Structure 1
Amino acid sequence: MFKRCAAAAVALMLGGPVMAAPLCDEMGFAGLLASCNRGEDIMLTLSSGKPLGEDTVLQSGAYYTLVIEADGSAELAVEGPSFFRAIWMNEIVINKIEIRPMAIDSIEFDKAGVAELSFVAIKPGRHTLRIPGSTGETQQITLSIQ
């Protein structure tokens, strides 16, 4: 608690923004990746004619997993360059293969499958993930980082 108060005091003296509090007080050696700093999983479904998912509010500094499941009914992708640049990507797991990318713009599924993206939300703002070329409201979600 003292560390957070001290950081806030220094930020106020320097005129900078105060960082959002993590979900837990003592993160230990794991830091931001500690289990107490993890938000709920975000679920997306890639299926022809079905809603992509629900709008979600994320906390800056918290760790999340975005689970994208495709049912194979169509060749579909999900894109969101502004969202992918507002997070720190830890890894993408596909078929138990862990990938640690610098950045991505989109992920496309040719067949049924699941991809899990773990990340830390960083830059506050409203970001959209959507199926490219779609115009329906149910074919996109808004992820708001606070």
Structure 2
Amino acid sequence: MRIFSAFLLSACLALGAGMALAETAAEDDDAPLAGLLAGPNKTALPEVILSVGEPLGGPWKLRSGGYYEVEITADGSGELGLAGADFFRAIWVDEVVIRGLEMRPMGLHSIEFDRAGTMEIGFVAIKPGRYSLEIPGATGASQRLEIEID
């Protein structure tokens, strides 16, 4: 009987402490939402502009486990794309949004724009290392976006 009473008392104390913590969290408006994909946990990266002869920007310094969103816009000055198989294998692609259509691919190898437009890619950086996204066939250093995942 003593063991049962001690167990019951422990359970009540734990339940009371849990309720107090829940009330404190509910009162704290600054508490981040739970979950990696929650809005406050996302980091917006600078927009990447694809234009013939123009630099891509960067570099990016990302944190492994961080959620990122980037808009990639082509100005229509040429048929341009970005290749970076190693980078795309080092991230988990959550979604690709084109004109309001959301896609959730298993992965990406490269992207290409045949005309002007914008796409948004949401992803989680996974594998630490140095990577790049580059315009296929371009030789200039500015046609390459350097990325580091810590």
Report the TM-score when normalising by structure 2. Answer: 0.76
Is the CA contact 2:44–2:70 (under 8 Å) kept in the aligned structure 1? no
Is the CA contact 2:84–2:134 (under 8 Å) kept in the aligned structure 1? yes
User: Is residue 32 from structure 1 mapped to residue 21 from structure 2 by the alignment?
Assistant: no
Flag the structure with higher helix content. 2
Using the alignment, how far apart are the partners of 2:103 and 2:40 within structure 1?
24
Cα deviation for residue 52 of structure 1 reads 1.1
- RMSD of equivalent CA atoms: 1.3
Q: Which runs of 4+ in 1 moved over 4 A?
A: none
1:107 corresponds to which of 105, 111, 122: 111
User: Is residue 74 from structure 1 mapped to residue 78 from structure 2 by the alignment?
Assistant: yes
Using the alignment, how far apart are the partners of 2:100 and 2:36 within structure 1?
23
2:99 corresponds to which of 85, 95, 104: 95
Using the alignment, how far apart are the partners of 2:32 and 2:115 within structure 1?
42
SS in 2 for 1:33: coil
User: Is residue 52 from structure 1 mapped to residue 56 from structure 2 by the alignment?
Assistant: yes
Gaps of 5+ in 2: 1-30
SS in 2 for 1:91: strand
Is the CA contact 1:128–1:143 (under 8 Å) kept in the aligned structure 2? yes
User: Is residue 85 from structure 1 mapped to residue 66 from structure 2 by the alignment?
Assistant: no
Cα deviation for residue 37 of structure 1 reads 2.0
Using the alignment, how far apart are the partners of 2:127 and 2:138 within structure 1?
26
Seen in structure 2, the aligned counterparts of structure 1 residues 117 and 129 have a Cα distance that, compared at 3 Å, is same
State the number of aligned residues. Answer: 120
